[in-house]
Structure 1
């Protein structure tokens, strides 16, 4: 019955759709060639650079926040909790808007690496709030017996954290970290609010700009599919990691 219902839905959708209109609006061949040849590669590389830099910044800051959350020092825990709850509750778009207005609030302020640095910091601040909770869960998942064994061998608490706890924690949380990188990659579509020059366009801004110029959505569709070159290999890697961890257990 479930297969029959699915088949009926697919056939109905195929019969009701205006395929000529769909091809004209979303998949016009001439505009597909135009989108592929007028800077898509540069926009793809920019998106990859924005994603990698923001994730690296968020990972470092998220690790620090996770350790603060687990600290025995009360003010550290409170500060980390306030940060995490604030940036998890505020939309990333608002964070980008705030960063676009920073030069007005602080005349002469320049973030290193220009647009790239601004994106890394703005998006990394948001990503760090989510990564902090993931990393904290990974640290707490490390068996306490291993920590006690390390301390009994004469290792300091700092060395135990670096040599024993964090390596195992990151191995445990590698799949969700990969998922977070996928989310960061998609969040780079919000970079347009910074007012980019053409050479700094990411995929969504590139596709939308070309779509507006040609009054057709085909370039935006092409840009959207290009994201899959980043997200699909990562999603496949997540499934492989989860399967390997399941076999290890």
Structure 2
């Protein structure tokens, strides 16, 4: 009972708010402000909050009297859903009592974005290129470094550890600055901001990927290496044909997660002074804000990052489930 009430309450708050906004129209800031200040939205939020409070009271109140574990879990689920609905409704009620006209004018003026849609699309493409190139070269570098860090020879292992600790222990923004400005001013090595960004992302990703690969390789059962050596394979042959292929399968989800993080980190290149054709999503948003002094451009950039990253996050979650179900001893 409480689960149904809690689900209904959350649907009223979230679905009702979406319906009221869609009904009022999202094409102009005045319509958005009017929808946010409407009596319909107020009624929706109050109703949803009250339903949420009822579901919370029902869930926690009947939990101990439920005869089975399943019914107790349903009671807790209803209470949690109701609590989420009540808190969401109250927060939205507090929010809409502010100056919605000013908020919509500064953050939801999407009609100003339409003429710049091509720039945002180009920025999304540049973001993916920067992150994709950085991830590709970084993964290759990380695999090599991971093998070095597991060497029995200190002269091989030590430089790799120094490199990894150096790039993991310093901010990516500092690394971008040193590569782009430091090489040009200190050594006279001039490169475009785009090239410098890819180089910095690759070197930084290589350090993190090395640790991911090292953990993946060390998670392979020791008997795999021993069996390969027993068949007459050398150390490097055993790593190449037996251990590393199995490790790669295990490290795919964390490497994909690193790629998602790198997509967001591409916003750091905004200070390098990219050309119009090289701007990433955040740079496009920053340029629009500096031109119109309207934060809607930042909102659009944020939505662009979500469009790019959310499918990848779903893919990471799916891959993690596949890895857990296909690897003995991993997961449930």
The TM-score by the shorter chain falls in which range? over 0.9
CA shift, 1:137, in A, is 0.3
Aligned to 1:239: 317
Mapped pair 1:95 → 2:155 = no
Supply the distance in 2 between the matched residues of 1:121 and 1:3 (Cα, whole angstroms): 47
**Is the contact between residue 35 and residue 207 of structure 1 (CA under 8 Å) also seen in structure 2?**
no
Deviating beyond 6 angstroms after TM superposition, the runs of 4 or more aligned structure 1 residues are none
| CA deviations over 1:125-160 (Å, ceiling 9, x no partner) | 111111111100001011121111112222222222
Determine whether 1:31 maps to 2:112. yes
- Offset, 1:237: 1.0
Match of 2:165 in 1: 85
CA offsets 1:26-83 (integer angstroms, 9 cap, x no match): 111312313314x112111111110011111111111111111100110222111111
Given that residues 97 and 193 in structure 1 are in contact (C-alpha distance below 8 angstroms), is that contact kept between their aligned partners in structure 2? no
Say whether 1:74 aligns with 2:150.
Answer: no
Contact kept in structure 2, 1:100 and 1:193, CA below 8 Å: no
Decide which structure has the larger Cα Rg and report it.
2
Query: In 2, are the aligned partners of 1:68 and 1:77 still within 8 Å (CA)?
Result: yes
Pick one of 57, 64, 68 that aligns with 2:137: 57
Q: How far 1:100 moved relative to its partner? A: 2.2
Question: Residue 102 of structure 2 is aligned with which of 21, 32, 44?
Answer: 21
Query: How many residue pairs end up in the alignment?
Result: 245
SS in 1 for 2:294: coil
SS in 2 for 1:82: helix
1:174 to 229, 252, 262: 252
Unaligned runs of 5+ in 1: none
Native 8 Å contact 2:194 2:274 kept in 1: no
Deviation at 1:240, TM superposition (A): 0.9
1:185 and 2:263 are equivalent in the alignment? yes
* CA positional deviation for 1:233: 1.5
CA distance in structure 1 between the partners assigned to 2:208 and 2:257 by the alignment: 11
Give me the CA root mean square deviation: 1.6
By relative contact order (CA 8 Å, sep 6+), the higher-ranking structure is 1
TM-score when normalising by structure 1:
0.92
If the length of structure 2 is used for normalisation, what is the TM-score?
Answer: 0.70
Checking the alignment, whether the CA contact within 8 Å between 1:46 and 1:202 is kept in structure 2 is yes
